[in-house]
Structure 1
Amino acid sequence: MKNFLEKLLWSSRYMTILAVWSCIVGMALLFTLSAIDMGKLLVEFVDVYVFGHDVPNFHTVVVSHVITAVDDFLLAIVLLIFALGVYELHIDKLDFIRENETAGKLLQIESLDDLKDRLGKVILMILIVSFFKNVLSVKFDDPLNILYMGGGIFLVALASYFGHKGSH
């Protein structure tokens, strides 16, 4: 009975394949949707600058769409790193990553702390991108708003500094 239970427990790690496949599907969806959105933005850009159609605050719209796409691409990268990390930690090591020098160390996960560090850095980048997306809507009609903006930029820089310093 003990042997059967241990085999069952050990084999249950294969359930994590559901998380791996779900992350791969989510990653593919995010990459595809973001690329399609960028294609639509390109069509709108050509419509405005080649055909002369007027769109109010078009520059702000373009910047906002680009930042949103970058945010989505970063989230897709989080899903990829998570999927690879879960697979490597629970199922099997990916020999292709270890044999292929171009794969780099980013996708090679050795431990749960390794996965956490890599995900933390990309999530920090998502938060930074989201912060700058929200900056576009700030009105600088009050001196306090300018002070808050400066404080926010300082805190983003501080988070980036400590995130970089933590890797050394």
Structure 2
Amino acid sequence: MKFLEAVFEGTLWRSRYMVVFAVIASMASALMVLYMATVDVVYLVQHVMHYADTGLAAEARKAIHDETITHVVEVVDGYLLSTFMLIFSLGLYELFVSDIDEAQGKRSSSKILVINSLDDLKQRLAKVVLMILIVNLFEKALKIPMTEPLDLLYLGGAIALIGVALYFTHASESHGAGKEETEPASKH
């Protein structure tokens, strides 16, 4: 019976390596989104080159300006999504497979990519999701025609809610940092 238990537990423990498929798929997704955002930057630069054309009418220049701002926001959104997938894949690997020795103790990792728990991964991903939502709101706000005072009030409310979300995110970081300092060193 002890032998069967050992075999079963060993198999169960090694099954965590299935997560490697999710890590590879997430990393591939991050690379694809990074590639798409970078291609968008190349097209954006080509598009902006017409902005300095002296024969361009004021309306056309304004259209290029507005389109450029929208495209820049979309590119930022793409890079943030790529970052999200990168953090997700590295976090899954660290939690289920092994610590990334290359990142341990390196100043360049700056504790962003070193994941110690599932809550740690969720917290880091939540910050990136919040930034993506902020960028998306900014992108939508650029396209919304402000025809009535109520439209401006809605936009102000959305900005206020973002401020509250950022405040609580920062407050939770400060609270978590104070908690880590008071924990005994033997837990780390």
The TM-score normalised by the length of structure 2 is 0.85
1:99 Cα deviation from its structure 2 partner: 3.4
For the pair 1:4 / 2:10, whether they are aligned, the reply is: no
- What residue identity is the alignment partner of 1:140? M
* Structure 1 residue runs of 4 or more that deviate by more than 6 Å after TM superposition: none
For the pair 1:91 / 2:97, whether they are aligned, the reply is: yes
Of the three residues 35, 48, 54, the one matched with 1:32 is: 35
Q: Show CA shifts across 1:65-92 (max 9, x none).
A: 1101101100110111111110001000
Cα distance in 2, alignment partners of residues 151 and 48 from structure 1: 34
For the pair 1:45 / 2:48, whether they are aligned, the reply is: yes
For the pair 1:18 / 2:21, whether they are aligned, the reply is: yes
Larger Rg: 1 or 2? 2
Residues 112-151 of structure 1 mapped to structure 2, 5 A cutoff? 112-151=118-157
Q: Partner residue of 1:78? A: 84
- What residue identity is the alignment partner of 1:23? S
- What residue identity is the alignment partner of 1:33? M
Any gaps of 5 or more consecutive residues in structure 2? 175-188
SS of the residue 1:136 aligns to: helix
The TM-score normalised by the length of structure 1 is 0.94
- What residue identity is the alignment partner of 1:46? M
Cα distance in 2, alignment partners of residues 163 and 7 from structure 1: 40
* Percent of matched pairs sharing the same residue: 36
Cα distance in 2, alignment partners of residues 80 and 52 from structure 1: 44
- What residue identity is the alignment partner of 1:145? D
Cα distance in 1, alignment partners of residues 150 and 30 from structure 2: 40
Q: CA RMSD in A?
A: 1.5
